[in-house]
Amino acid sequence: MSEFNHILFSAGGLALAARSASIHSLHDGLVTSAEPGTSDWFSGVAVAEGRLLPITDLGLYLNGGTSTGRVIEVARDLGIAGLRIDEVHGVSRNRPEAIGPETSDAPVNEDSSHDGQWPVRNTAINDLGRRYRIVDIAHLVKSSRFLNVKCEPA
Amino acid sequence: MSLNTFSFGTLKDWFARVWPASVDISQTDWRLRWPLLILPFLLIALLYSLFKVNTLGAQHAQTSMQLQTAVESGLLAGKALPADAADAPFSLTRFNSGIVNLADNSSMLEKWLKQGRGTQSLAQYAQAMAALATKQSAIKGVLPDLEFWNGYSDLLSILELAVIDGDIKTPEARSMVETLRSGYAQLRTTPITASPVASIDASGPANAEVAVAKPNQIVLLQGGLERLREQRAEITRIQNRALVLAALSTALFALLLWGMWRSFNRQKNASAGNARNEQSAILRLLDEITPLAQGDLRVTATVSEASTGAVADAFNFAVYELRRLVRAVTASADLVKTSVAETRESSDQLAKASSVQAREIHRSSNYLNVMSDTMAQLSAHAVESARIADLSVQQARAGNDAVQANVDGLLRIRDQAEMTTRLMQRLVETSSAINDRVKDIELVVKRTDLLALNATIRSAAQVSYGTSANQKARDSYGNSESVLQLSDDIAHLADALGVATRDIANLSDLIQQDATITLKSMSKTVSELDDGHTTARQASNSLHEIDRVSNELNGLISDIASKSLRQAGVVKQLSANMGVINNITRDSTLQLQDSARSLEDLQLITADLRASVSDFKLPRERSPGNNLSGDNLSGKNSTDRKSLSGKLESESADGSSSDEHKKSKLDSKVARNKVTHA
């Protein structure tokens, strides 16, 4: 078993991949309670296996579309957080490959609002002819923008 | 003759003896009647004149006596005044003074009325009154006559009416009118009995009255003589008028007597000529009725005022009746002759028509035989048609049974289709249940997939932690190899289950789609089966109707066949009857020929009747188109039925009921001849 074990999924139309070690489990059918005064990408809180779990719409957070599928619970040693995605495509043990700026997808690129805390790396997993950009969940859950769910005026 | 025995009847008898009994005043000339009307008025005027003369004579005598008395009194007054002259209550002088006062007051009233408002028209009456009074006052010694009194009183009455009506309003004028009325009344009612000698001047001395007594007496005498002369002249005038009236009355009476005498003579002469007139009238009547003995009905006796007038009138009536009778006999003979001729002609025509009728009847009998054969053929055809109709009924029944079997088959197919539809519906429901189970499997697959992913994630985490020093964490995830194997198996299982589930779902969808299509097809089939069933039922009904109609047609054709058979028998019987009629027609022709010979005999009898009245001579009729207008009836053959009818109508206008009877008989004969012609 190698350390290049990634979960392939899609969120907001973005094909993403995350290390299996940064994920605790996948949940399906969680009921989310919206919280007023929070950002649009913060879906609210839900109860998973008896534990309160804040849910973030990963597609909206990465400037993509709205995600409506399962929820990825972040490894508990990294923090308590849930990421709503669209669909899990599988597990890949392929080695990540670096990609150049000219080949990066525009929606997945960093913008000025993240202040250098963009979680998507310039590496990707190629599986069955499709490229999944790797999301650094440990970096994501520790970024100040992710932790600040307060709604900021435009 | 005493007064006791005198009576009106006696006077009448005497007058009847004196007056000619044959004189009738109503028969006199009208020019002599007017003296009779004027004579009573002349006699009345004459009597009035005599009465007037008598009255005036009495007055004249009385005036003469008065004048004589006055003359005698005047002669005595030359010696001494009468005793009552000095005591006279009112003298003539004072009377004249009253008249003068009336004149003055009237003049004053005239002035007031002229000055008053709206009384100018009344002033003329006051003026007239003043003029009358002034005129009367100017005549000294003469008393006012009745004309003065009446004239003055009338004018004064007009003014009094004006006072009453309010036209005269001033109190002075009203008082003056009253003064005038009182003065007038006093003068009118005062007796003038004073001696003329004493009435000259009442205020003067007695000597002065004596001095003027003689002239006044002379004046009175002159007045009396004047009055006598006037009365004498009036008497003379009335006497002259009475003489004229007496002369006129005498002349008229003489004229009346002359007229009566003349009328009496005329009537006497007329009674003398009556005898001669009667004799001449009898001779003239004999001369006039003599041609009647030779049968000349044109004679007419002259009806006069003589005693033979009534005889002539009766004779004329008898001749008229005889004339009418001869005309009626002649007309009837002509009519019978014409009718006989026409009847004979009609009989000939009828005989010919009977021959034609017999021939036609024979031909009709032949036609009836042909018709009978045709009816027999028609009957045979009807029987054949009935047989064919029966066959048609049987075929219609067979078709109906076949359609009924078809309907039953369709019903069975429909039942099977409905059963198949129910099965397919249950299959669809089963497929739906499979789909539900597939959904459950999909859920299981989904959860298994999630479980596998989580196992994979945990195994990966264990691998990741295996490289680290966190043993606790590695223990919490277990053996990584086994977990990984498990996750792989679960993943494979999930994949296989997912594939199977997808296959089942696809198959189920396919079954459901096929079942749906089959269901729709079966529904359509059932609908079509319903339509076919309906159509078959309609066909069955139509066949039932055909069956019924065929039965009716069969009955009708059978009825026609039976009736045709009966009709053929009737036609045969009719043909036989036609032969009998033919024989009867032949016999009728013979009888008609016998009738024609009888009519010839009747025509000869009519000619004899015509000849028997041919000796009578009838006057010429006024109508120019009358065929009986000749002098002699012989040889006058009248064939114009309308003229004969017209003659009878003209005669029936005289009120004879027998003529009406003849006319009705003539009409009936004409109607019979018309029927014969027809």
Helical packing angle, B120-138 and B146-165, nearest 10°: 160
Cα torsion B499, B502, B508, B511: sign: negative
Burial profile B125-162: b = 16 or more Cβ within 10 angstroms, e = fewer: bbbbbbbbbbebbeeebeebeeebeebbbebbeebbeb
Per-position DSSP letters for chain A, written without gaps between them: --S--EEEEEETTEEEEEEGGGEEEEE-SPPPBP-TTB-TTEEEEEEETTEEEEEEEHHHHTTS----S-EEEEPTTT-S-EEE-SEEEEEE-PPPEE--GGGS-GGGS--GGGTT---EEEEEEEETTEEEEEE-HHHHHHSHHHH--BPPP-
Q: Which residues from A are below 8 Å from B when comparing CB atoms?
A: 1-3, 5, 7, 19-21, 23-26, 28, 70, 75, 77, 88, 90-91
| Phi, psi torsion values for B333, nearest 5 degrees | -65, -45
**Which residue among A5, A28, A88 sits closest to B460, beta carbon to beta carbon?**
A5
**Partners of residue A24 in chain B, C-beta under 8 Å:** 457, 461
Instruction: Name the band, by pLDDT with cuts 50, 70 and 90, for residue B20.
Output: low
Name which of B457, B464, B465 is nearest A7 (Cβ-Cβ): B457
DSSP annotation of B304 reads: -
B448 CB within 8 Å of a chain A CB: no
B86 has pLDDT over 50 = no
Which among B282, B323, B322, B327 is positioned nearest to B301, based on CA atoms? B282
Higher pLDDT, A59 or B646: A59
- CA–CA separation, A7 and A89 (whole Å): 8
- CA-nearest residue to A74 within chain B is B457
Q: How confident is the model at residue A108 (pLDDT cuts 50, 70, 90)?
A: low
Looking at beta carbons, which residues of chain A come within 8 Å of B480?
1
pLDDT at A53: 95
| Higher-scoring residue by pLDDT: B341, B215 | B341
- Measured between CA atoms, how close is A109 to chain B, in angstroms? 27
Q: Does residue A21 register a pLDDT over 50?
A: yes
Q: Is the pLDDT of residue B645 over 50?
A: no
The answer to whether A125 and A132 are in contact (CB under 8 A) is yes
φ, ψ (nearest 5 deg) of residue B491: -65, -45
The more confident residue out of A88 and B437 is A88
Residues listed for chain B: 678
Q: How far is it, in rounded angstroms, from Cα B585 to Cα B566?
A: 28
What is the β-pairing status of strands A14-19 and A130-135?
parallel
pLDDT at A79: 92
CA dihedral sign, ordered A44, A48, A50, A53: negative
Q: What angle separates helix B171-189 from helix B92-115, to the nearest 10 degrees?
A: 160
User: Could you give the CA distance from residue B671 to residue B678 in angstroms, rounded to a whole number?
Assistant: 10
Please check whether residue B337 touches A, CB under 8 A.
Answer: no
Q: Which residues of B touch A21 (CB under 8 A)?
A: 460-461, 464-465
pLDDT value, residue B552: 82
Q: pLDDT by residue (tens digit) across B395-411? A: 888 887 888 888 788 88
State the average pLDDT over residues B652-656.
45
| B259 pLDDT higher than 90 | no
**Span between the terminal Cα atoms of chain B, in Å:** 101
Q: Is B468 on the interface with A (CB under 8 A)?
A: no
Token pair listed for B366: 């032949």
pLDDT at B659: 53
Closest CA to A82 of A96, A110, A61: A61
Please give the residue that has the higher pLDDT: either B630 or B299: B299
pLDDT surpassing 50 at residue B82: no
Chain B environment of A91 (Cβ under 8 Å): 453, 456-457, 460
Nearest Cβ partner for A5 among B450, B463, B481: B463
Reply yes or no on whether the pLDDT at B438 is more than 90.
no
Burial class (CB within 10 angstroms; exposed 0-12, middle 13-18, buried 19+) of B385: middle
Best-predicted range by mean pLDDT (A54-68, B14-28, B270-284, B304-318):
A54-68
**What's the CATH number of domain A6-147, 3.30.479.30, 2.40.50.180, 3.30.230.10, 2.40.160.40?**
2.40.50.180
For residue B610, is pLDDT > 90? Answer: no
A-B Cβ pairs (cutoff 8 Å, strict): 55
Cα gap B532→B410, rounded to integer Å: 7
- For chain B, the average pLDDT equals 75
Contact B629, B636 (CB under 8 A): no
What was the pLDDT predicted at A33?
Answer: 94
Q: What distance lies between CA B27 and its chain's CA centroid?
A: 53
In this prediction, residue B654 carries a pLDDT of 47
Residue with structure tokens 């907001």? A12
pLDDT at B278 over 90: no
Which has the minimum average pLDDT: A25-34, B40-49, B216-225, B503-512?
Answer: B216-225
> What letter does residue B117 receive in the DSSP assignment?
T
**The residue to which tokens 């350390």 are assigned:** A3
pTM of the model: 0.34
What is the rounded (10 degree) CA torsion for B74, B78, B82, B87? 100
Name the band, by pLDDT with cuts 50, 70 and 90, for residue A134.
very high
The answer to whether A23 contacts B457, with C-beta atoms less than 8 Å apart, is yes
Which residues on chain A are in Cβ contact (under 8 Å) with B459? 1, 20
pLDDT over 50 (residue B379)? yes
CB-side neighbour CA atoms (13 Å) of B363: 6
Q: Tell me what the mean pLDDT of segment A7-21 comes to.
A: 91
Instruction: Name the closest residue on chain B to residue A87, using Cα atoms.
Output: B450
Residue B447 and residue A28: Cβ atoms within 8 Å? yes
Q: Across residues B194-206, what is the average pLDDT?
A: 43
- Reply yes or no on whether the pLDDT at A10 is more than 90: yes
Q: Over range B534-561, report the average pLDDT.
A: 80
Cα B411 from Cα B448, distance rounded (Å): 54
**Beta strands across the sheet bearing A71-74:** A23-27, A71-74, A82-84, A51-57, A42-48
Reported as a pLDDT band with limits 50, 70 and 90, residue A102 is: low
Choose the mutation target among A4, A7, A19, A26 for the interface with B, i.e. most B CBs under 10 Å.
A26
Q: How many CB atoms lie within 10 A of CB B308?
A: 23
Instruction: Over range B331-337, report the average pLDDT.
Output: 83
CB proximity B464 to A under 8 Å = yes
Please say if the pLDDT value at position B353 is more than 90: no
What pLDDT is attached to residue B25?
Answer: 57
For B305, which DSSP code? S
- Domains in chain B, start-ordered, CATH in brackets? 49-255 (no CATH), 380-601 (1.10.287.950)
Task: Report the gap between the CA of B454 and the closest CA in chain A (Å).
Answer: 5
Q: What is the Cβ-side half-sphere exposure of residue B574, based on CA atoms within 13 angstroms?
A: 17
Give per-residue burial for B588-622: e unless 16+ CB within 10 Å, then b.
ebeebeebbeebeebbeebeebbeebbebbbeeee
In tens, the pLDDT along B202-238 reads 444 444 444 445 566 677 777 888 888 888 888 899 9
pLDDT value for A154: 57
Nearest CA distance, B445 vs chain A (angstrom): 13
Domains of chain A, residue spans: 6-147
DSSP state of B5: T
Crossing angle for the helix pair B146-165 and B171-189, to the nearest 10 degrees = 150
Per-residue pLDDT band for B622 (boundaries 50, 70, 90) equals low
Which of B457, B468, B472, B484 has the highest number of chain A CBs within 10 A, making it the mutation to test binding with A?
Answer: B457
List of chain B residues whose C-beta atoms are within 8 Å of the C-beta of residue A26: 450, 453-454, 457
Residues present in chain A in total: 154
Cβ neighbours of B460 in A, within 8 Å: 1, 5, 19-21, 91
pLDDT interval class at B376 (50, 70, 90): confident
Q: pLDDT tens across B119-145, in order?
A: 888 888 988 999 988 888 887 667 788
Q: Give the pLDDT band (50/70/90) at residue A72.
A: very high
CB interface of B with A, residues 383-422, below 8 Å: none
**Comparison of pLDDT for B216 and B193, the residue scoring more:** B216
Evaluate if residue A2 carries a pLDDT over 70: no
On whether any CB of chain A is under 8 Å from the CB of B23, the answer is: no
Q: How far is A27 from chain B (nearest CA, A)?
A: 8
Burial B30-49 (b: 16+ CB within 10 A, else e): eebeebbeebeebbebbeeb
Q: Which of A5, A49, A137 to mutate to test the interface with B (most CBs of B within 10 A)?
A: A5
* Type of residue numbered B522: M
In B, minimum Cα distance to A73 occurs at B454
Q: Which of residues 78-97 of B touch A (CB under 8 A)?
A: none
- pLDDT for the residue B471: 54
Q: CA-nearest residue of chain B to A93? A: B460
Within a 10 A sphere around the Cβ of B121, how many other Cβ atoms? 10
pLDDT score, position B652: 43
For the segment B299-324, what is each residue's pLDDT rounded down to a tens digit? 888 887 777 888 888 888 988 888 88
How many Cβ atoms sit within 10 Å of the Cβ of residue A135?
27
Q: Respond yes or no on whether ipTM tops 0.90.
A: no
Tell me the pLDDT tens digit for each residue of B411-423.
888 788 888 888 8
Query: How does the average pLDDT of chain A come out, rounded?
Result: 86
Percent of chain B residues topping a pLDDT of 70 = 76
Tokens representing residue B191 in the block: 């007796």
Strand partners, A134: A17
Q: Residue B61 corresponds to which amino acid?
A: A
DSSP secondary structure string, B622-657? Answer: SSTT-TT-SSB-TT-----HHHHHHHHHHHHTT--H
- Residue B106's nearest CA partner among B152, B147, B43 is B152
CB contacts of A7 in chain B (<8 Å) are 453, 456-457
- Looking at chain B from residue 478 to 537, which residues have their Cβ under 8 Å from any Cβ of chain A? 480-481, 484
Q: Report pLDDT digits (tens) over B235-257.
A: 899 989 899 999 998 988 888 88
Q: Check pLDDT > 60 for residue B468.
A: no
Return contacts of B284-289, CB within 8 angstroms, 24+ apart: B284/B308, B285/B311, B285/B312, B285/B315, B288/B312, B289/B315
Question: Which residue of chain A has the CA closest to B476?
Answer: A24
What confidence score (pLDDT) does residue B85 get? 45
Q: Mean pLDDT highest for which of B125-139, B276-290, B349-363, B469-483?
A: B125-139
